[in-house]
A and B are shown apart, each in its own frame.
Chain A
Amino acid sequence: MKQFIAFVKKEFYHVLRDKRTLLILFGMPVAQILIFGFALTNEVKNANILIVDQAKDISSQKIIGEISASHYFQIENSINDPKQISRAFQKGIIHLAIIFPANFNQDLMHLHKAQIQVIADASDPNTATALTNYVSAIVTDFQADLNNQFSLQMQIIPEIRMLYNPQLKGAPNFVPGVMALVLLLVCVLMTAISIVKEKETGTMEILLVSPFKPVLVIIAKAVPYLLLSLINVVSILLLSVYVLHVPVKGSVLLLLAESTLFIITCLTLGIFISIKTNTQQVAMLVSLMGMLLPTVLFSGFMFPIENMPVALQIFSNIVPSKWFYIIVKSIMIKGVGFSVIWKETLVLIGITLILFFLSVKSFKIRIA
């Protein structure tokens, strides 16, 4: 028994002295509870919506009043031209649009029946369903009130149109997310490990002594992963189109070009990690904990970013997969062109360049 205790004691020393293990043992559960408890929720709040009131009468104003009072909605005031609605959906500025016809109240009073147009961005079917349900509930409430007031049976019919994904399939939301995840995993993790392995085995030194420029060493390491990742992208797209029946509505070439950009971003990230870490184990930990987890949580495909506390929303801006997810969704599901996603593309390019310069700087410092 005494021998056993001696051994257990040693094991305690190991655990308590290893800062990384302690972080995982105590830090992670706390972080997870906080994040999953507060930040991440599937509940839709403060969704940006647009209301076009062509009637501007007492009934429409009343309904609009209810809607703006609700914490589910945030009314977007910057769009006045109905023709810009489609653009607003494409850019992801609004999730929902409600249009009141010009004779709304008149129709109600005289015909006892009126219609409201409700258009929802169904590229995220969960959000779309939730929002349209909220609207319907508010309209039904209003309808009930009116009926009580006037002792009539009036009907307000919301005509609901689901954009981009009329059948409300889950796949359109997931395929872009999975793409971001897979590319990140392969490119960041594998590149980081590959370069660190050379450091660990000592062959990196030999390469550094050769006349082969260090920059080329790194690029040569990244090239196989670039090609393999492109093959990955193509296979995911093929599976998506033919097995999941989620077509690519936009330009496939643009999609591939943006994917190549994202791959390069991830490779640069992998390279940066490999320069800063010295063992494969740490490289793997940093890649998984530091990259994979934020991608799953903060790219927006599982948990809408608008529902998170502001601090986390700001943080999500430095997660490259958030921008890529928007780009892929826009091209694949909404079918838009480059003019809509140029901003996100620029952000990705910016992130890549910053990572590249940081890598070069860190690398040079190591040599001196």
Chain B
Amino acid sequence: MAEVVIATEKLTKRFGDFTAVDEITFKVFKGEIFGFLGANGAGKTTAMRMLIGLSIPTSGKATVAGFNVYHQTESIKKNIGYMSQKFSLYEDLTVMENIRFYAGIYGLTNAQIKTKSDQLIAGLNLEKQAKELVASLPLGWKQKLSFSVALLHEPKIVFLDEPTGGVDPLTRRQFWELIYAASDKGITIFVTTHYMDEAEYCNRISIMVDGKINAMDSPENLKKQFNANSIDEVFYQLARRAIRAE
């Protein structure tokens, strides 16, 4: 039985009268690539913010890396990595300076920082750009760098919030290579995305509609269940009846 790294039970978030996340229950296993899908306004980002310790749930339970989201957010933060939609890198700092900064605030020692940053830069073939400002990198490279930086402190789980926005399919594919490599090392990937073809790359996916999870299974099984040829169609069938849209 695979180890559970994320578990939620009727996790809910309300803002006044508005229920953004409505009693969602799911588990994510170690080493999985878990796709967290949903239309705009379905509640994905709100749900994720609760899991990474940025927001306290209104009710329900959730544990991430074994720590509970109400009282142990500090421990959660030490064990997870995060890549936001708007990226994480400082444009007016160089590649090297960004790496050293994040390694530093995650508490890595100087020796570790040296090894990890060399590895990272070699891994992405960024030796020539190491001393350039991040602003000078093309978007695709920034994304890959951002992802690698999120992994510097070897977290158990990494949360990716729409990591491949705005780049061409080839670059997206290359990004997913990085995700596979991380998953192979046993890191759990929790990724939200709009791109339904990326859903196919995941081990399991869940689809949120109006705050609830309306489907959760492997891409194959979902296609069979909904009699669809692609996740696109599955999504369309579910989302079409949604009341909330952005």
**A243 beta carbon closer than 8 Å to chain B:** no
Q: Across the interface, do B107 and A367 meet the contact criterion of CB distance under 8 Å?
A: no
Which residues on the A side are within 8 Å of B88 (C-beta)? 202-203, 206
Query: How many A residues touch the partner, as a band?
Result: 10 to 19
**B59 beta carbon closer than 8 Å to chain A:** no
Of the stretches A16-24, A137-145, A209-217, A310-318, the one at the interface is A209-217
Residues A205 and B74 in contact in the complex (CB < 8 Å), given A367-B54, A368-B55: no
Tell me the chain A residues, 281-300 only, with Cβ under 8 Å from chain B: none
Please pick, from B53, B78, B86, the residue contacting A202 in the complex, using a CB distance under 8 A: B86
- B43 → A minimal CB distance (Å): 17
Which residues on the A side are within 8 Å of B52 (C-beta)? 209
Residues A203 and B90 in contact in the complex (CB < 8 Å), given A211-B107, A368-B56: yes
Please pick, from A203, A209, A212, the residue contacting B54 in the complex, using a CB distance under 8 A: A209
Q: Across the interface, do B106 and A208 meet the contact criterion of CB distance under 8 Å?
A: no
**A201 beta carbon closer than 8 Å to chain B:** yes
- Distance, CA A205 to CA B85, complexed state (A): 10
Which residues on the A side are within 8 Å of B80 (C-beta)? 209
Which residues on the B side are within 8 Å of A203 (C-beta)? 86, 88-90
Q: Across the interface, do B106 and A210 meet the contact criterion of CB distance under 8 Å?
A: yes
Q: Across the interface, do A202 and B85 meet the contact criterion of CB distance under 8 Å?
A: yes
Residues A201 and B54 in contact in the complex (CB < 8 Å), given A210-B106, A211-B77, A211-B106: no
Tell me the chain A residues, 176-225 only, with Cβ under 8 Å from chain B: 201-203, 205-212
Query: How many B residues touch the partner, as a band?
Result: 20 to 34
Please pick, from A201, A206, A207, A209, the residue contacting B53 in the complex, using a CB distance under 8 A: A209
Q: Across the interface, do B105 and A212 meet the contact criterion of CB distance under 8 Å?
A: yes
Write the residues of chain A forming the contact surface with B, with a CB cutoff of 8 angstroms: 201-203, 205-212, 367-368
The number of inter-chain residue pairs (CB within 8 angstroms) is 43
- Distance, CA A203 to CA B85, complexed state (A): 10
For A206, the closest partner residue in chain B by CB is B88
Q: Across the interface, do A202 and B54 meet the contact criterion of CB distance under 8 Å?
A: no
Main secondary structure of the interface of B (DSSP, over half): loop
Tell me the chain B residues, 49-66 only, with Cβ under 8 Å from chain A: 52-56
16 extra interface residue pairs, beta carbon distance < 8 Å, beyond A202-B87, A202-B88, A203-B88: A201-B86, A203-B89, A203-B90, A205-B86, A206-B84, A208-B54, A209-B54, A209-B82, A210-B77, A210-B102, A210-B106, A211-B106, A211-B107, A212-B106, A367-B54, A368-B56
Main secondary structure of the interface of A (DSSP, over half): helix
- Distance, CA A363 to CA B86, complexed state (A): 21
Which residues on the A side are within 8 Å of B54 (C-beta)? 205, 208-209, 367
B6-21 vs A, Cβ < 8 Å mask (1 yes, 0 no):
0000000000000000
- Distance, CA A206 to CA B86, complexed state (A): 10
> What are 18 A-B contacts with C-beta separation under 8 Å?
A202-B84, A202-B86, A202-B87, A203-B86, A203-B88, A205-B84, A206-B82, A206-B84, A206-B88, A207-B105, A209-B77, A209-B80, A210-B106, A211-B78, A212-B106, A367-B55, A368-B55, A368-B56
- A212 → B minimal CB distance (Å): 5
For A210, the closest partner residue in chain B by CB is B105
Which residues on the B side are within 8 Å of A201 (C-beta)? 86, 91
Write the residues of chain B forming the contact surface with A, with a CB cutoff of 8 angstroms: 52-56, 74, 77-78, 80, 82, 84-91, 102, 105-107
Which residues on the A side are within 8 Å of B84 (C-beta)? 202, 205-206
- Distance, CA A203 to CA B56, complexed state (A): 20
- Distance, CA A368 to CA B54, complexed state (A): 8
- Distance, CA A210 to CA B90, complexed state (A): 15
Which residues on the B side are within 8 Å of A367 (C-beta)? 54-56
- Distance, CA A367 to CA B84, complexed state (A): 17
- Distance, CA A201 to CA B92, complexed state (A): 12
Interface centre among A205, A206, A207, A368 (most CB of B within 10 A): A206
- Distance, CA A203 to CA B98, complexed state (A): 12
Which residues on the B side are within 8 Å of A212 (C-beta)? 105-106
- Distance, CA A272 to CA B77, complexed state (A): 25
Q: Name the 6 nearest CB pairs between A and B, nearest first.
A: A202-B86, A206-B88, A209-B82, A211-B77, A211-B78, A212-B105
Which residues on the B side are within 8 Å of A207 (C-beta)? 105
For A368, the closest partner residue in chain B by CB is B56
For A213, the closest partner residue in chain B by CB is B74
Which residues on the B side are within 8 Å of A209 (C-beta)? 52-54, 77, 80, 82
Which residues on the A side are within 8 Å of B55 (C-beta)? 367-368
- A218 → B minimal CB distance (Å): 14
